[in-house]
Amino acid sequence: MKLVTKLAIILFGFGLAGRLSAENPSVIVDLTEQSAYLLENGRVAFVSPIASGKEGRGTPTGSFKVISKDLNHRSGSFGLITDSYGRIINTNANPGSYVPPGCHYTPAPMPYFMEFCKYVGMHAGYLPGYPASHGCVRMPRDLAAEFFARVQIGTPVKVIGSARIVTRVRKAIPIIQPGNSRYSTAFSNAGRVSRSARNSAGAKRAIPVVQPVLSRYAKTF
């Protein structure tokens, strides 16, 4: 009886391992299309619009792997300076920037951070509709959450294309911060996001792509 039980456990383990291996995801970031694709079982499961690195701070291309994940990451290099009323003094500050008396520096929030190259990763952020980051790959918050839930440390990430020949320009998509803190409001205001835009983005839901459309990506890895 014990032998039968052990064999059953072993066979179950092999079956589970095979299933998990088959479901291992991979990510394609297409700079030309300003889109990110999450592949599962060789099929495109999710597609997200992105804002990649701007001119002079381009997102690196090539083959990478996710090396870290941080749900509530904050930038160690960039942020903004606000006064005691929450008004923005400097939208492009860094830890070494001058902070006037009565003001303070706030590191830029990077929720659902998935680092695939040193200091560069995918995360929720403001999408103005064109390449605008300092190198990271920004996504709408709900889609960043979907990617974050599915990728693992070691998940392959391939960055292709060029932001110099962007083929898709979209409407701005703001980052949605939980709560109503003055810091989240300040970052939203920095992107000049209207109340109606925030509400519509908050109602947005991630829509999975269950058809193997864009099958060329399934053969990239």
Q: Is residue 35 part of a domain?
A: yes
CB 135 within 8 A of CB 108: no
Considering only CA atoms, which of 26, 46, 52, 33 is closest in space to residue 137? 52
| Sequence-ordered alpha helix ranges (H) in the chain | 2-23, 141-150, 182-190, 195-202
Q: Is residue 43 part of a domain?
A: yes
Structural domain span for residue 178: 25-219
Q: Is residue 195 part of a domain?
A: yes
Quick: pLDDT tens for 131-186: 999 899 999 999 999 999 999 999 999 999 999 999 878 888 876 544 434 434 44
Strand partners, 36: 29, 48
Q: Is residue 4 part of a domain?
A: no
What pLDDT shows up at residue 172? Answer: 86
Beta strands 26-30; 156-160: pairing state: parallel
Q: Is residue 209 part of a domain?
A: yes
Strand partners, 114: 69, 122
Q: Is residue 131 part of a domain?
A: yes
What pLDDT shows up at residue 109? Answer: 79
CA–CA gap between residue 88 and residue 139 (Å, rounded): 23
**Global confidence as pTM:** 0.68
Compute how many other C-beta atoms are within 10 angstroms of the C-beta atom of residue 185.
Answer: 17
What pLDDT shows up at residue 221? Answer: 67
Beta strands 68-82; 26-30: pairing state: unpaired
Looking at the structure of the chain, the number of domains it has is 1
Residues in the chain where the model's pLDDT stays below 70: 1-23, 175-221
CA–CA gap between residue 111 and residue 99 (Å, rounded): 25
CA–CA gap between residue 158 and residue 30 (Å, rounded): 8
What pLDDT shows up at residue 167? Answer: 83
Q: Is residue 6 part of a domain?
A: no
What pLDDT shows up at residue 56? Answer: 87
Q: Is residue 176 part of a domain?
A: yes
What pLDDT shows up at residue 214? Answer: 53
CATH number at residue 35: 2.40.440.10
CA–CA gap between residue 123 and residue 140 (Å, rounded): 8
For residue 28, what are its two tokens? 């394609």
